[in-house]
């Protein structure tokens, strides 16, 4: 019996020793070991912005950041939980909450080159709630335990991140009396109308595909600081409720009455003027260009994150 007990104790001691030998010393100090899997709980704060058909910069609208107006930056925040395997690959669950907005009147200083967007005079805002599952890849840690090398883990770790998310939004616009109304129920481009069978109502909760990059800096054994940019690729062009061409305003009378009818007629095209050298005549005609349906909308965040790491073994 004593022999069996001794063998079991010896086996357990060898297993523990092997486990600790396989786990590198944590580089901040020699007070803790890196376990194969460590966890991080954290929060972030930063800016949120969007790329849609509304607002933007001079011209008819350019791809991606060329049409970005930083004057539309809004506050956002998030909380997250991450599981990291050997500091190289991580899986992260995150909830992000923020606001986006855009308005054509921001183009006032470049209205002569706005190709009718300033005269169109549309505006929108929306709350964003998002839950995502993300994967992180930290390439520098590949070389830390590369065979034949003996390198200390880096304090700075740039990383790539991508995943899948589920988000909700609700575009609203300001009416002539200064109140905000929900745009999706008004079908401003004929979504769901019998006269426009190809235009289907869009859902206010959809999937997205976050992609981005960041850098993590170790403040100590338990805390780290991150800076991260994350773009959301969307499958909708209706983040701002603007996508395609104008419809006949008289059609709204078949589906709405009262305040809803007035709001639909006003907000489908809130034009400033149809006269003068900068007049864009097609904007006031049925079938004229209201938005660009060739490119889906998107939104993005730039956040500073602080995380608490747990799961490392004490020495």
Which range among 63-67, 151-155, 174-178, 279-283 shows the weakest confidence by mean pLDDT?
A: 279-283
Residue 263 falls inside a structural domain = yes
CA nearest to 290, candidates 121, 169, 140: 121
The model carries a pTM of 0.82
Residue 19 falls inside a structural domain = no
In this prediction, residue 57 has a pLDDT band, given cuts at 50, 70 and 90, of low
Q: Kindly report the number of other CB atoms within 10 A of residue 189's CB atom.
A: 21
pLDDT (mean) for 264-284: 58
Contact at 8 Å (CB) between 43 and 306? yes
Which has more confidence, 155 or 79?
79
* pLDDT tens column, 85-110: 888 899 999 999 999 999 888 777 77
In this prediction, residue 17 has a pLDDT band, given cuts at 50, 70 and 90, of very low
Diameter of the chain by CA atoms?
A: 102
pLDDT score recorded for residue 304: 98
Token pair recorded at residue 303: 């956040």
Phi, psi at 80, each rounded to 5°: -150, 160
Mean pLDDT estimate for the chain: 82
CATH code for the domain of 113 = 2.40.160.20
Residue 173 falls inside a structural domain = yes
Residue 2 falls inside a structural domain = no
Per 3-state DSSP, what percentage of the chain is helix, strand, and coil (rounded to 5)?
20, 40, 40
Residue 222 falls inside a structural domain = yes
Residue 315 has pLDDT above 80, yes or no: no
Domain total of the chain: 1
* pLDDT tens column, 170-224: 999 988 888 899 999 999 999 999 999 999 999 999 999 999 999 999 888 889 9
Percentage with pLDDT > 90 across the chain: 50
Residue 116 falls inside a structural domain = yes
**Domain extent at residue 281:** 24-314
Which has more confidence, 113 or 273?
113
pLDDT score recorded for residue 14: 40
Which has more confidence, 88 or 48?
48
Strand-pair partners of 277: none
In this prediction, residue 13 has a pLDDT band, given cuts at 50, 70 and 90, of very low
């Amino acid at each position: 019996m004593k022999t069996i007990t001794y063998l079991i104790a010896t086996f357990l001691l060898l297993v523990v020793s092997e486990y600790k030998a396989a786990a590198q010393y944590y580089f901040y100090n020699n007070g803790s070991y890196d376990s194969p899997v460590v966890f991080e709980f954290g929060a972030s704060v930063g800016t949120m912005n969007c790329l849609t058909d509304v607002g933007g910069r001079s011209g008819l609208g350019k791809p991606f950041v060329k049409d970005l107006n930083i004057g539309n930056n809004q506050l956002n925040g998030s909380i997250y939980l991450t599981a990291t395997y050997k500091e190289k690959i991580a899986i992260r669950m995150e909830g992000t909450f923020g606001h986006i907005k855009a308005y054509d009147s921001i183009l006032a200083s470049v209205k002569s080159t706005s190709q009718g967007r300033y005269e169109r005079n549309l505006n929108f805002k929306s709350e964003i709630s998002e839950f995502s599952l993300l994967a992180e890849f930290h390439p520098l840690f590949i070389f830390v335990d590369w065979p034949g090398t003996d390198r200390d883990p880096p304090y700075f770790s740039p990383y790539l991140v991508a995943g899948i998310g589920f988000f909700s939004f609700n575009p609203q616009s300001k009416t002539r009396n200064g109140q905000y109304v929900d745009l999706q129920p008004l079908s401003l481009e004929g979504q769901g109308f019998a006269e426009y069978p190809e235009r289907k109502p869009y859902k206010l909760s959809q999937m997205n595909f976050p992609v981005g990059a960041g850098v993590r800096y170790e403040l100590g054994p338990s805390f780290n600081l991150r800076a991260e940019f994350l773009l959301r690729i969307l499958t909708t062009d209706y983040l701002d409720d603007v996508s395609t061409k104008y419809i006949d305003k008289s059609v709204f009378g078949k589906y709405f009455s009262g305040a809803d009818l007035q709001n639909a007629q006003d907000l489908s095209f809130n034009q400033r003027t149809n006269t003068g050298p900068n007049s864009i005549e097609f904007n006031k005609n049925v079938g004229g260009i209201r938005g660009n349906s060739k490119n889906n909308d998107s939104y993005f965040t730039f956040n500073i994150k602080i995380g608490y790491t747990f799961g490392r073994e004490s020495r």
